[in-house]
Amino acid sequence: MTSTQTEFERPASRIEQPEYDELLARVTAWVDGPGEEWAERIEETGEVPRALFDELKTNGYLSMAAPVELGGRGLSFSQWMGLMEVFSRSHASIRMLVHVINGTWRAMNPYADDEQREKFVKPSISGDKLVAFTLTEPDNGSGADITCTVRREGDTYYLSGRKHLITFGVACDYWLLFARLEGSSGKDGLVGLIVDRDADGVTVEDTSNTMGVRGTDHARLTFDNTPVPVSQRLGDEGDGLEIALGGFLTPSRISVAMSCVGLAERAQQLAVEYAAKRVTFGKPIASRQAIAFMIAENEADIEAAKQLVLHAARQWEEGADAASALSSMAKMVAVDMLTRVTDKALQVHGGLGYWKSEKIERVYRDARAQRFEEGTNEIQKTVVARDVFVRAAAKAAKEKTR
């Protein structure tokens, strides 16, 4: 068992194939039916209704990836990726809900004590409480350089600093937040805290007016000596970076990569349907070689990225050392693929695709978000390159000892 897998998530955990096939068919039918109706409503209002959240919860779609011991469905990670692919064909805010809620528990659970598991982890998995992952800051990167600070007085931390781009940061019940001990530097001074949404000394700004992913709330947060009970710290002081990046980031990057695959499949579907019905000079444009070649290139592009994502998922399940680098490769490749596919799918629609009357317009806007979610491609390339050079150095050192 690796450091990123606990007794609550065994690589062998999975549901039987007939049960999975039934679940996959049910999710697909929901995405194609009610999910599409919800998508239209979200685009019209710019909001995700509480009724949608309740429907996802009632259907069990917010608790599928977690182990049975924690109240989840007990899917393997690869099985969950198959469902993530389908959900990602839906509205981006629907994908965001099921992605985040089916993943946040991975960061909390390995470091939670029994009381925290009952109070925070299980209610998050059940959908009774919404926990917002709160790492990114406006003046720093998203790692050991964060400057949001806490000072401890007895059994209370006092939190000061700023966070931004926090998904569900407005409507959540708790922020899963990362800060550093006052006066510390580097990763050893970081702590992971579960902060009450209604705690004193917090200013919440709604920054949800985004290009795409309409309906999902995003927040800018300012903390001014906000009290946080020490009992709401996950793990030990110094565990913060490992909580934020260790067992959470790798599977989350793979999940985002699969969301790129699903959204690309939706763009391709719309392009194929439009090419079949749009007629010029007495023929559907699907018969035009220029259009057919774009469709063919998209199909190959999607399949290639999908197989890399699935390979990364299986490697993570097995606890392979290569899983972290593969997650970055999958995210990097899938994001670039999604950019190409949505661009060609929009081009197939001609000028009409630029109008909001066409569904491809929303897909095109939503596709831009994955390019910074869980790290930009520049970050992914840094991770992959570092892995390449570390392995090369290890190989050279090994050969010298022969």
What pLDDT is stored for residue 11 in this prediction? 46
What pLDDT is stored for residue 293 in this prediction? 98
Residues of the chain with CATH 2.40.110.10: 131-243
pLDDT-derived band of residue 209, with 50, 70 and 90 as boundaries? Answer: confident
Q: Residue 8 carries which side chain, given as an amino acid letter? A: F
pLDDT tens digits for range 245-300: 877 889 999 999 999 999 999 999 999 999 999 999 999 999 999 999 999 999 99
User: What whole-number distance in Å separates Cα of residue 357 and Cα of residue 361?
Assistant: 8
Residue 181 pairs in a beta bridge with: 150
User: What whole-number distance in Å separates Cα of residue 302 and Cα of residue 261?
Assistant: 6
Q: Residue 313 carries which side chain, given as an amino acid letter? A: A
What pLDDT is stored for residue 249 in this prediction? 87
What pLDDT is stored for residue 40 in this prediction? 94
Q: Are 298 and 345 in contact (CB under 8 A)?
A: yes
Overall CATH class of domain 17-103: mainly alpha
User: What whole-number distance in Å separates Cα of residue 208 and Cα of residue 214?
Assistant: 8
Q: What is the mean pLDDT of residues 231-239?
A: 97
**What percentage of the chain has pLDDT greater than the value 70?**
97
Where do we find the tokens 């993570």? Answer: 316
What pLDDT is stored for residue 7 in this prediction? 39
Distances in whole angstroms, Cα of residue 128 to Cα of each of 57, 102, 172: 8, 13, 11
DSSP one-letter string for 268-327: HHHHHHHHHH-EETTEEGGGSHHHHHHHHHHHHHHHHHHHHHHHHHHHHHTT-TTHHHHH
* Secondary structure class of 153 (helix, strand, coil): strand
Q: Are 53 and 97 in contact (CB under 8 A)?
A: yes
Residues of the chain with CATH 1.10.540.10: 17-103
* 400 φψ region: left (φ > 0), alpha (ψ -120 to 50), beta (else): alpha
Query: Is the predicted pLDDT of residue 157 greater than 90, yes or no?
Result: yes
* Secondary structure class of 144 (helix, strand, coil): coil
**Based on the number of CB atoms within 10 Å of its own CB, is 160 exposed (0-12), middle (13-18) or buried (19 or more)?**
middle
User: In terms of pLDDT, which residue wins out, 21 or 210?
Assistant: 21
Mean pLDDT of the chain: 93
277 phi/psi in degrees, rounded to 5: -100, -20
Overall CATH class of domain 248-394: mainly alpha
Distances in whole angstroms, Cα of residue 152 to Cα of each of 183, 184, 229, 262: 11, 13, 10, 45
pLDDT tens digits for range 335-365: 999 999 999 999 999 999 999 999 999 999 9
What pLDDT is stored for residue 8 in this prediction? 41
Query: Is the predicted pLDDT of residue 60 greater than 90, yes or no?
Result: yes
* Secondary structure class of 213 (helix, strand, coil): coil
As a CATH number, domain 131-243 is 2.40.110.10
Q: Are 128 and 202 in contact (CB under 8 A)?
A: no
What pLDDT is stored for residue 5 in this prediction? 42
Q: What is the mean pLDDT of residues 46-70?
A: 94
Q: How far out from the chain centre does Cα 250 lie?
A: 10
What pLDDT is stored for residue 37 in this prediction? 96
Which residues, 6+ apart, have CB-to-CB distance to 351 below 8 Å?
none
Distances in whole angstroms, Cα of residue 69 to Cα of each of 19, 109, 238, 258, 374: 18, 12, 28, 26, 28
Catalytic residues: 374
Query: Is the predicted pLDDT of residue 394 greater than 90, yes or no?
Result: yes
Sign of the alpha-carbon dihedral angle for 329, 216, 104, 20: negative
